[in-house]
Amino acid sequence: MPEPGYPILPAKTSTKKTRLLKQRDAIAEHLREAFATNARSVKPRPKGQRLGIDTDDTIHLVRLVRAGFEFSRLQQFQKVTGLSLEKIARFAQIPQQTLSRRQTEGRLHADESDRLLRLSMIFDLAVDL
């Protein structure tokens, strides 16, 4: 039974079908080689690097998030990305008034730190494209 959306080719087009299958296989092989090359050449960036966190240790990163990032991490992210504090706050869903309060306190809450970390990871993925 053919898959939905794929027409049943008549028997007389077997050479066309063979040619299409060969093209498909060649494209698949090319993609395999391209992805294998890229996988070897792209080094994964440590999570939080743009926040000034240089660790690959996930447990350590979780502890930092639970404790709440220092406000300087947000400023580091702003400096590295060139985004305004207003845009970062909007993307991380931190109201302006709360952001001002956190700046005075010197530390973000755990949920805000988590959203900032996720934002930095998304930013890294977008830049690496």
Most confident of 3-7, 40-44, 79-83: 79-83
For tokens 């079908």, name the residue: 17
Is this structure's pTM higher than 0.85? no
Residue of 21 and 105 predicted with greater confidence: 105
Q: Are residues 64 and 99 in the same domain?
A: yes
Q: Are residues 73 and 19 in the same domain?
A: no
Q: Are residues 123 and 64 in the same domain?
A: yes
Percent of the chain with pLDDT over 70: 77
Residues spanned by the domain of 65? 49-128
pLDDT of amino acid 25: 80
Report how far residue 77's alpha carbon sits from residue 120's, in angstroms, rounded to the nearest whole number: 8
Per the structure, the count of domains in the chain is: 2
Q: Are residues 63 and 94 in the same domain?
A: yes
Residue of 44 and 5 predicted with greater confidence: 44
pLDDT of amino acid 23: 79
For tokens 């730190």, name the residue: 113
Q: Are residues 55 and 113 in the same domain?
A: yes
Q: Are residues 72 and 123 in the same domain?
A: yes
Report how far residue 79's alpha carbon sits from residue 55's, in angstroms, rounded to the nearest whole number: 19
